[in-house]
Amino acid sequence: MGKPTNKTLMSPKLMQSLRSAPFIAPFIILVFLFYLVPVLLTAVLSGTGMDFTMRFNFVGLKNFARILSDSVLPQILHNTLVYVFFTCLLNVGFGFILALLTTYFIKNENIGLFFRTLWLLPRMTPPVIYALLWLWFLDPTEKGMLNVIVGAFGRPPQNWILNNPMPTVILANGLIGVSLGMVIFSSAIKSIPDELYKAAMIDGAGDFKIIRHIILPLVKWPLMFLTVWQILSLITSYEYIMLITDGGPLFNSEVLSLYSYHKAFSNLEFGYGAALAVILVLIGILVTTFMLKVFGFDRMMDPSRLNA
């Protein structure tokens, strides 16, 4: 390329940016249209008292003042915390264990693949069907599958969902989310060079030590990525909760995103629902910033030390 001559009016940096513009523009437009605009629209809506008449009547911060006096909100925030923490633990933790089992412990490629495919099945099932399967499985009558099983041991039928709404939604969400972690961890574990294991074994390390000192440090970045990703998507996800318990009984499994949906679309209080959604967005931003700081996101972008 050579040095810039006097004829070039633009600096090389600007030229570079301009050249890359056609490549990055479609993504910027997509992000703008489908991420930024909805957030902005929600923010605008949250300043209105829009109800079933769907009129934009601006009420300032009244909705946010109402949120502060909403008596069910403490319970809902508590539910959200419990739901996100335990589901994420299940998604990431169990995903890691599955990846270990199917890649590190089962060395046969085909058998590992078979089990991983099995765990992917719920992902291929439409959400409504997946939720229905849970409802049938946990049906409170003696014909419910789990009740048939406990019935075989002479136990009376239980009302599983009613008595354990939070564990139910955590399990249902956790078991479907586990496949993503499994796939990512599997590929991360597979990319660890064999020599490292061999060297460790020569030094007398057992499985536990290999996992603790070799695998875990080397899957740190996928672990970080998945944790942040899962937390963010869990904060805003509610479809399985809606389909399985609809937040009930009472507000026992209602999380913030579902509450926002219920206020907006069941009570037709669109303004108030949008205000709740804005709180959700703020929580999401805060959590992400915090998590990226804790894990040291900057260092993830450094060149891999493994292949250096």
Partner 1 sequence: MKKALNLFFIFLLVLGMTIVGFASEEYETVIIRVSSKGSAADVARGQNLVRAAEELNRWLAQKNDKRRVKVEHIHDSSGTDDNETNRRFFLAWHSGHAEDIIALPHSNVALYAEGNYALPLDELIKTSEFGSLLEGIYDNLWEAAKYKGRIYAVPQDAEARVLFYRKDVLAQMGWREQEIADLAEKIREGQFTLEDMIALGKQAQEQKLVDWGFYHRPTNGPAFTMILRAFGGEVYNAEADKIVLDKKALTKALAFFRRITQEEKITPEGMTIMEWRNLHQVWVEGDVLFWLGGTWHWGEYQQVPYYSTLGELTEDYMFANMGYALFPAVEQGGRPVTLTNPFVYMINSKTKHPDLAFALVALASQPEYNALHAVNSGHMVISPDAAEQPLYKENAFFKSVAYMLEYTMTQPNTPRWNNFTTALYKAVQAVELGQQTPEEAVGWMEEQLKHDLGDQLLILE
Q: Give the type of residue at 180.
A: L
Taking the complex as a whole, the smallest distance from the CB of residue 156 to partner 1 amounts, in Å, to 12
What angle (nearest 5°) sits at the alpha carbon of residue 253, between those of residues 247 and 257?
65
Is 87 exposed, middle or buried (CB count within 10 Å of its CB: 0-12, 13-18, 19+)?
buried
Beta pairing partners, 58? 48
Radius of gyration (Cα) for the chain, nearest Å? 25
b/e per residue 117-136 (b: at least 16 CB within 10 A): eebeebeeeeeeebbeebbe
Task: Compare residues 14 and 72 and give the one whose CB is closer to partner 1.
Answer: 72
Task: Compare residues 72 and 111 and give the one whose CB is closer to partner 1.
Answer: 72
Taking the complex as a whole, the smallest distance from the CB of residue 273 to partner 1 amounts, in Å, to 12
Q: Which of 142, 143, 144, 121 is nearest to 134 (CA)?
A: 144
Taking the complex as a whole, the smallest distance from the CB of residue 7 to partner 1 amounts, in Å, to 55
Taking the complex as a whole, the smallest distance from the CB of residue 263 to partner 1 amounts, in Å, to 10
**What tokens were used for 25?**
């523009």
Task: Compare residues 222 and 247 and give the one whose CB is closer to partner 1.
Answer: 247
Footprint of partner 1 on this chain (CB under 8 A)?
52-54, 66, 69-72, 140-141, 159, 161-162, 248-250, 265-269
Task: Compare residues 104 and 240 and give the one whose CB is closer to partner 1.
Answer: 240
Task: Compare residues 94 and 137 and give the one whose CB is closer to partner 1.
Answer: 137
Taking the complex as a whole, the smallest distance from the CB of residue 229 to partner 1 amounts, in Å, to 31
**What tokens were used for 61?**
């911060």
